[in-house]
Chains A and B, each alone.
Chain A
Amino acid sequence: MSLYGLIAAFAEPDALVHAASAMRDKGYRRMDAFSPFEIRELEAILAIRPTRLPWAVLAGGIAGLVLTYALILYSVEIDYPLNVGGRPLHSWPPFVVIAFEAGILGAALAGFVGVLWANGLPRYHHPAFNAETFSYARGGKFYLLVETADPRFRKGVTRGQLTRLGAETVEEVEA
C-alpha cells in the first residue's frame, strides 16, 4: 500500500479555488480538484488544456453524413436501380434529409464516446475513492488532491499547507 496523495476537503467552492491557486503558487503541479458541480476558475489554476473533443464531434458528424449518403447512392445507382415514380435514380433532395439526420447521430455518438474516452470513464477504482472524506453523499464538498508524484510533495509540509489554507480535513489517499 503506497501513498497516492493527500486530499483536502473544503466546505465552499471559493475556499477550494483559493487553496488551489495558493498551492499552485507554491509550485505544486500534480494536483486535481473534485467538486459536485463545475467550478470554472479551476481550469486556469490547474492549467487544463482546452479539449480537442469538438474536432471529434465534427469528424463524427461528417462521417455519418458522408457514409450514409454514399450508402444511399450505392443502393440506388449500383446495387438495385429501380424506376420509382419516374424519378431520377439520384434524387438528391430526399437523400439529403436522411444524410442530415445521420450526420447529427454521428456527431452525437462521437461526442459521447469521446468524452468518456478522454475522461477515462468508466473507471470504478480511482484512488480518490479510497479517501474516507471523499463523498458526494451530502450534496458533496470541494476537494483538492495533491499527488505524491509531485516533485514538491512532502507529506507533513503539504498537509500543513493544506490545513492552513482552511481545509476542513486532510486525509492520506492510498494508491
Chain B
Amino acid sequence: MSATAETKPAAAQSPASLARRAADKDIWRSLEELADSGEFRRFIESEFPAIAARLPMQVNRRTLLKLAGASLAMAGLTACSEAESIVPYVRQPENIVPGRPLHYATALSSEGYGIGVIVESHEGRPTKIEGNPDHPSSRGATDAIMQAAVLALFDPDRSRVPLKNGEPAGYGDFLADMAKLSADWAASSGQGGALLVETTTSPTMKAQLEDLRSLYRKLRVYRHDPLAVPAGTAATAKLFGRALAPVYHFDRADVILSLDADFLGEGPGRLAYARNFADRRRVRRPGDTMNRLYAVETTPTLTGAAADRRKAVRPSEVESLAAALQAGLAAAPQWLAAAIEDLVGAGRNSLVVPGERQGPFVHAAAHGFNQRSGAIGTTVDFIAPPDALRVDGDLVALCDAIAGKEVDSVVVLGANPGFTAPADLDVRAAFSRLKLLVHWGLYRDETAQLAHWHVPAAHDLESWSDVSGHDGTVSIVQPLIRPLYGGRTAHEMIAALAGRFDVDAPGLVRETWAKRLDDGAWREALRDGLVAGSAAAPVAVETGTGLTDLKPEPVSQGLEVRFVIDPWLRDSRHANCAWLQELPRPLTKQVWGNAALISPATAGRLQLETGQVVNLAHGGRSIDAPVWIMPGHPDETVTLPLGFGRRTGSVAALAGGFDAYRLRTSDAMWFAGGVTLTARADTARLVTTQHHHAMEGRAIVRRASLDHFRERPDFVRDDVPPAPTESLYPDWPYDQEAWGMSIDLSACIGCMACVSACQAENNSPTVGPDECALGHEMHWLRVDRYYAGPPDDPETLFQPVPCMQCEKAPCEIVCPVNATVHTHDGLNAQVYNRCIGTRYCSQNCPYKVRRFNFLEYQPYGEEAGPEQAAHNPDVSVRSRGVMEKCTYCVQRISEARIHAQVDNRAIADGEVVTACQQACPTRAISFGNLNDKRAAVLREKGAPHSYALLEELNTRPRTTYLGRIRNPGNAAVAAEKGRTDG
C-alpha cells in the first residue's frame, strides 16, 4: 500500500508540471520533451496502467507523442485513481509503529520448491528477505535470487493490466471470457482444453488441478519446465519400483562422491546441503575431523571448487564412470578406484550423489552403490517427490496434441515456452493454431505476446499460496503487500477455470488445509512459516528390478555441449532483475552476459581467445557465442549457460549474452555430442569484475591440507612476512564495543549470497553493463576468486573481501575533510555528507574495498521509479561524487544498541548480525564484539589458523580470515599443498 504511496506524490503532481511546461512553450515541442521524460513515463504508468501496458519497452517518440497529448487531456483524471492507495494511514493499524520494521514468515518458490523466509516490512513495504531458521530448506540462509525478490516485486516492467489480444482490458472482461470457456468445457467435459503448468509443489495447486480434472474429464494437463530433470525419478522408479526423490544428509557423510552433481549450487535443498556439508569442515583444533568430497564434474561448479579431489570429465564419460562404480574397483581408473576405496571404507557414512542433469543410469548406479554401502537411511533418505503431479506430458506432447487438433485452447500458468522451448519445437506456430491461448505471468513475456489473454500474476510476496521444501515440509505463503498491479494468483486462475469467480486466494489456500489445520494451528503455521511436522516421511526402499534394462550411454566423439542454467537468471525468469544481472557469476565473475566456456587446452587447439566469437552448430541449428577460457573445464567440451539473450524487459534488453535455448533440442536437453565449432573473426565484449586470477605468490588465501594443519596448526604464519608488533602510535582505547569479523575460508563456497544480501541491505546501486565494463561497479563486498595450480585442473579459491575496518586505517589519515573517521566502537565510518570525493582514501586502501559514485547512479525523489520502494529506509542513498564502503551494517548495530539501551543492558553476543553473515548458507562469517570475552567471533579469531589479510602493512584489520583447509587425504598431496601455502 505504502509502496504505491511512494510513487503517487511524484505522479500526482506530474500533470500540473506538464501543464506548466506546456503553457509557456510551443505545445508540440514541449510534448516531445515530455514524451521523453522519465517523469512523464512514470506518470502514465502510475495513473493509466492501461496505457503504460501499451508503451513499448524502448521509448518510441511517436507513440509517446500521442500519449502525451492524451495525458494532458486526462491530467484531471488523476483524482479518479483508488484513493486508499495514496492517503496515509487514517486509522493507525495497531501493530505498526512507524520506523519499526515488522517481520513476517512466508516462503519463496525456487523452481517450484519452497524456501522459507522472514521478510522485513517497513510500513507495509517489504524491503529485505532473510532466511527462516526453522525452515529445513533454508536454516536461516538465503541465496542471491531470494535476496533480489524485493527488487523483482517493485520492478516497473512487471505486467500491470490484463491484455486481450494485446489491448488493455478489464479483469472483469477476462472473467467473462473464462465463464464462457468453463461453460464450454462443462458442456464438452473439457474437450480440447489443456493447461500448461510449471513444476509445482503446492498442495493447493495440486488439489485444484485434480478437482479440475474431475470436473472436466477430458481436460489435459501438461508440464513445461525447462529446468526439469525427470531422470532421477525415472531411475528410482526402475530401481525401487516407485518414483522417489532423495534427501541427503551431508552432516552424516564422511566421504562423498559427486557424479557431476552440484548439490551446493543447484536444487531445492542447496542451502541446507551447503550448511550440512560445511558443518563437517569446521576445523579449529588439530584434533578436529573433516569430511572428504570427491567431485566428478562436466563443467566447473561450486561443488567442484569446494571438493578435496576434483576430476573434470566430458559429459559422455560420466555414464562409463558410473558403470565402473557399478562394476567395482577392478573396472575403475586409478583415481576413481581410490575414491571407491575411500567410500567403501566409510561404510554407511559414505554417500554417492548423482548429478541431477545426468541420465537415469547414473542415478541408478549411484543409488545402487548407496544401497550396497548401507548409506540409505543414514546419509540419504528417499521420500515421495514433492513435485509429483499427474500430467499428460511435457511441451513436446502438448505441441503434438495441438498439431493433432486434440487441443484447441490452452491456459499457460507461469511458464514461458515462447522463450524457453527446445529449439526443435515451433511453439509459435503451434500456439498460433489455437482457438484460445491464455497466459498468466509476471511479465508480458514472449508467450504473453502470443496469447489472446494475458493476466498479470501476483508476485510471491503478494500471494496467498502454499509450497513444499526439498524434504516435503509445507510452508504457507502469505502476502506482504497487496498486489501492486492487481496481479492474481495461479489459484484464482484455476478457480476461474473451474467456474468459481467468487473465491479469493486466502480462502482457496485455507480450504486446502481446512481438515489438517484448525484456526490455531493455521495461525501458528503462518507465524512459523511452515506447517509443523509436514516433512515427508522417508520411504523404506528395497531393490526393484535393478539396473538390468538401464545401460550406460557410449562415450561420444568430437566436441560436446553441456547446457547449464545461469546461476542467477535461471531459465531467464529473472532476466529483468538488475541486481542479478550485475551480480558476478561465482566462477567467471562475469556480469550482464554469458559466454561459451571452454578449457584452456581446447582453446589452445582451436587457437581461440577469451571474447572471440565462435559459431556452434548442432543438429542443423547454430548460434554465435563469445568464448570464455575457463580453467578446470573439461577438454573438448563447451558449456553454454541458458537464460540470456532476452530482448523483452528494459533491464534484460541492456544485457549482452546469447540465447543458448536456440541450440537446445528436446532430445538433448542438457548434453549434446557432435557439435561443430567454427571461429568467427569478430570479438564480443565480456564484462567481468575480476581481471587477474593468480595470487602472484602472495599470502592472500592461505591454505593447507588437513594433515599439514595437524602438523603445523599455525601454518598461516609460515613463509609470510611477519605482522609488525609495535607501532609508532599508542593504541587507541576502545572501552565500549569493538566490532570484529572472522571469515572461514574453509566454509566459504563462493555462492555470492553475501554480496547480494549486502546490496539489498545497503541500497547499493546497479550501474549497468557499460559502467561495469569501466570498472565502476558498486558492490561493497566482493568475493575474490583465485586459481592455483595447473590451468587444466586448478584449485579454485574464494575469498570474501569486505572492508577490513582497519584500526590503523590508511584511508582515514589521507582524507582532507574528515569524511572517513573511526567511531567509538572501532568502525571505520564513512560520512557521506562530508565526502567531497578526493578518492584519496580508495587510493590508499590496500584492499580496494571502497566504492565511488562516479556518476549519479541512484536517482531519488521525482527521478526515481517504483523500484526505490525496495530501499532500506535505515540506509541513506548516496549521491554522485561521494565514496562509500562496507560499514559492518552500522544501521543494524545502532538498532541493537538502541534496544539494549532502552532496556539498559549490554548488547548480547549474536544480537548484531550483518547482512552478509545472515545470508551465508555455510555460516562462514562470524561477527561480534571483541571486547566481549564470550563472543563467538573471539573464539574464531583464537583459532591457530586465523590471520589478517596483508597484516604486514600494520593496518590492524578488524576483519580476519581462517586459513583454507582441505582434506585431499593423500600425504604426498598434503605435503605439496603445505609447501605451496599462500
Contacts and interface: CB of A to CB of B under 8 A. Distances in A.
Interface of A: 80, 82-88
A84 B730 contact: no
B821 interface: yes
Contact of A82 (B729, B730, B810, B818): B818
Contacts of A84: 812-813, 815, 818, 821-822
19 contacts: A80-B818, A83-B732, A84-B812, A84-B813, A84-B815, A85-B806, A85-B808, A85-B809, A85-B810, A85-B811, A86-B729, A86-B731, A86-B807, A86-B809, A86-B956, A87-B729, A87-B808, A87-B813, A88-B729
Interface-centre pick from B730, B732, B811 (highest chain A CB count, 10 A):
B732
Given A88-B729, A88-B730, A83 B956 contact: no
Nearest to B821: A82
A84 B813 CA distance: 6
B842 to A, nearest CB: 15
B45 to A, nearest CB: 47
Contacts of A86: 729, 731-732, 807-809, 822, 956
B520 to A, nearest CB: 54
Contacts of B823: 83
A163 B683 CA distance: 95
By secondary structure, the A interface counts as: loop
A83 B822 contact: yes
A87 B821 CA distance: 11
A98 to B, nearest CB: 11
Interface-centre pick from A82, A83, A84, A88 (highest chain B CB count, 10 A):
A83
Contacts of A87: 729, 808, 813
A88 B727 CA distance: 12
B331 to A, nearest CB: 64
B812 A85 contact: yes
Contacts of A80: 818
Given A84-B815, A84-B822, A85-B806, 8 more contacts: A80-B818, A82-B821, A83-B732, A83-B823, A84-B812, A85-B811, A85-B812, A86-B809
Contacts of B807: 86
Interface in B799-827: 806-813, 815, 818, 821-824
Contacts of B808: 85-87
B849 to A, nearest CB: 16
A87 B806 CA distance: 12
B21 to A, nearest CB: 46
Interface residues of B, number: 19
A10 B808 CA distance: 73
Contacts of B810: 85
B813 to A, nearest CB: 4
A84 B822 CA distance: 6
A103 to B, nearest CB: 21
Nearest to B733: A83
Contacts of A85: 806, 808-813, 822
Nearest to B731: A86
A83 B823 CA distance: 7
B718 to A, nearest CB: 29
B660 to A, nearest CB: 50
A87 B955 CA distance: 12
A161 to B, nearest CB: 68
A87 B732 CA distance: 8
B362 to A, nearest CB: 57
B958 to A, nearest CB: 11
Contacts of B731: 86
A150 B950 CA distance: 83
Interface-centre pick from A86, A87, A88 (highest chain B CB count, 10 A):
A86
Contacts of A82: 818, 821-822
A86 B821 CA distance: 9
Contacts of B956: 86
A76 B809 CA distance: 18
Contacts of A88: 729-730
List the 3 shortest-distance A-B pairs measured between CB atoms, nearest first: A85-B812, A83-B822, A85-B813
A87 to B, nearest CB: 6
Nearest to B730: A88
B890 to A, nearest CB: 15
A119 to B, nearest CB: 40
Contacts of B818: 80, 82, 84
Interface string B523-553: 0000000000000000000000000000000
A15 to B, nearest CB: 60
A79 to B, nearest CB: 12
A83 B829 CA distance: 11
A9 B956 CA distance: 78
A68 B729 CA distance: 24
Contacts of A83: 732, 821-824
Contacts of B815: 84
Nearest to A93: B728
Contacts of B813: 84-85, 87
Contacts of B822: 82-86
A38 B811 CA distance: 55
A158 to B, nearest CB: 66
A10 B47 CA distance: 94
A5 to B, nearest CB: 59
A92 to B, nearest CB: 12
A49 to B, nearest CB: 47
A84 to B, nearest CB: 5
Contacts of B729: 86-88
Interface string B287-310: 000000000000000000000000
Contacts of B821: 82-84
A97 to B, nearest CB: 13
Contacts of B732: 83, 86
Nearest to B822: A83
A86 B809 CA distance: 7
Nearest to A84: B812
A172 to B, nearest CB: 64
Contacts of B824: 83
A12 to B, nearest CB: 58
A88 B813 CA distance: 11
A83 B813 CA distance: 10
Interface in B731-777: 731-732
A82 B818 CA distance: 9
Contacts of B806: 85
A95 to B, nearest CB: 13
A84 B810 CA distance: 9
A86 B815 CA distance: 14
Interface in B247-280: none
A105 B172 CA distance: 81
Nearest to B808: A86
B834 to A, nearest CB: 11
